[in-house]
Amino acid sequence: MVVALLFGGSVINYIDRAVLAVVMPQVRRDLGLSATDYSMAVNAFLVMYMVSYILGGRLADRLGCRVMFLITVVFWSLASMAHGAVQGLRTLALFRALLGTGEAGFYPAAIRGAAEWFPPESRAKAVGLVLSALSVGTLLTPPMVAWITLRYGWRASFVATGALGLLLVPPWLALHRRIRRAYGTPDPAPALAATANRDGPPEDEVTLGQVLRTRKYWCVLAARACSDAAWYFYLFWMPGYFQETRGLSLEAVGKLLWIPYFLAGVGALAGAWASSALIRRGLGLDRSRKTVLFVSAALCFAGSWAWLAEDVRLALGMVSLALFGHQAWSTNIHTAITEITPPAHVSILYGITGAAGTLMGAVVQAVVGPVVDSMGYDPAFAGAGALYIAAVALIVAAGRIERIRAPRI
């Protein structure tokens, strides 16, 4: 039940952030925005998402998954609904910033929830389910938003999808009443407590500062940042690309663009199950994670050549391959972050990696907008593929995927 509601929260989180990408041509036309203006609004989301990822991680370590889930879901739902009142670039950027503020804290809390409730041999599956929800959210968004927009206008699509998050509050409260009855406390954290009590140096000896001085952590952080930047390109620009460059109508986008997002969700689960199967067969944590990471990155690189495809169906298939690979990669890189960090600092260190990914995404968005205005989408696709090559090199440089321990004196 815990992972089911985290899955539901992740689905709605991504529905709310993906609405703007689907109606981007209509919003730009009605508000008179250029591609550069649109990239500025996207960056308003990403900048606040970056800041709140770190703050949300710290709060999740202090308040736990239970409280942070409620705070973040309510905040971002109201911010998403407010998009229905947008009047121009300034208000669009403001509401995107508020949406980023609310959504950012959810994922550190959700990943902490997975670390709390699932042991290492099955943790990737829990993380994979949460991350597959990203794809479920984004595959549901095009048909849902297209249907609402064609009948009631793009403003109504923000109000309707934003209200979905509020539906999660009653079952989340009911769940934790059941947990309290079963465990005597709403936050038992069984798996995390077991991890902290294993043989070895006490985890509280590893300070946050010591982790932040290790090459392993910074290489994994940078690898995630590279892949996150590529994902944000696909998330915020792919629907517009297929409308503006490939000539699809909004109705066609609603009918077809669920396909790459569906395969992204399959990739998240496939990546989780593949690495878990390799671990069970005795390949070891490090080799299992890296095997799936390297294969996934290769798929992402191959799919990024979609801009060369002459047929729109082939281009759609190649983008689908890239998103399948990305989510298989993400399941394992997100899980690896929890596996190299001490349990006491899981959320804050995960939050810092998320902030780095968002910062990288914001930098890339600042480049993508002017590039699309001047040269089209082709260079942006090529750059997305190159980011995965850099990510693989960083994973190699990180060394073994294993818990960072306090230095021995």
Provide the pLDDT for residue 188. 59
Q: Is 124 among the domain residues?
A: yes
In the chain, what's the furthest Cα-to-Cα distance?
A: 68
The band of 265, judged by pLDDT with boundaries at 50, 70 and 90, is: confident
**Confidence class of residue 197 from pLDDT cuts 50, 70 and 90?**
very low
When pLDDT is cut at 50, 70 and 90, the band that residue 60 belongs to is confident
Angle made by CA atoms 175, 180, 184, in degrees to the nearest 5: 160
CA-to-CA dists, residue 25 to 44, 148, 282, angstroms: 19, 15, 51
Q: Is the pLDDT of residue 51 over 50?
A: yes
| 406 within a domain of the structure (yes/no) | no
The pLDDT, as a whole number, for residue 409 is: 52
Mean pLDDT calculated for residue range 262-269: 87
Q: What per-residue confidence (pLDDT) applies to 120?
A: 66
Query: Above 90 in pLDDT, residue 75?
Result: yes
pLDDT of residue 121: 67
- Say if residues 61 and 152 touch (Cβ distance below 8 Å): no
Q: Is the pTM for the entire model greater than 0.75?
A: no
The per-residue pLDDT for range 199-256, each reduced to its tens digit, is 444 444 688 888 999 999 999 999 999 999 999 899 888 888 998 889 888 888 878 8
| Residue 96, phi then psi, degrees to nearest 5 | -65, -40
Say if 68 falls within a structural domain.
yes
Q: Are 228 and 394 in contact (CB under 8 A)?
A: no
Domain range for 109 is 2-180+206-398
Question: Within a domain: residue 190?
Answer: no
198: in domain: no
User: Of 185-199, 208-222, 316-330, which gets the smallest average pLDDT?
Assistant: 185-199
Mean pLDDT of 330-341: 89
* 3-class secondary structure, 10: helix
> Would you state the structure tokens that stand for residue 55, as one six-digit string?
């703050």
Q: Distance between CA 255 and CA 248 in Å, rounded?
A: 10
Distance in angstroms between the alpha carbons of the first and the last residue of the chain: 44
Structural domains counted in the chain: 1
Mean pLDDT value of segment 153-163: 94
Mean pLDDT of 5-26: 90
Q: Is 12 among the domain residues? A: yes
Q: What is the pLDDT of residue 202?
A: 46
pLDDT at 191 over 50: no
Give a yes or no: residue 197 inside a domain: no
Residue 408, classed as helix, strand or coil, is coil
CATH of residue 137's domain is 1.20.1250.20
pLDDT of residue 251: 84
Least confident range from 120-124, 125-129, 347-351: namely 120-124
How much is the pLDDT for 305? 93
Residue 405 carries which DSSP code? -
Classify residue 87: in a domain, yes or no.
Answer: yes
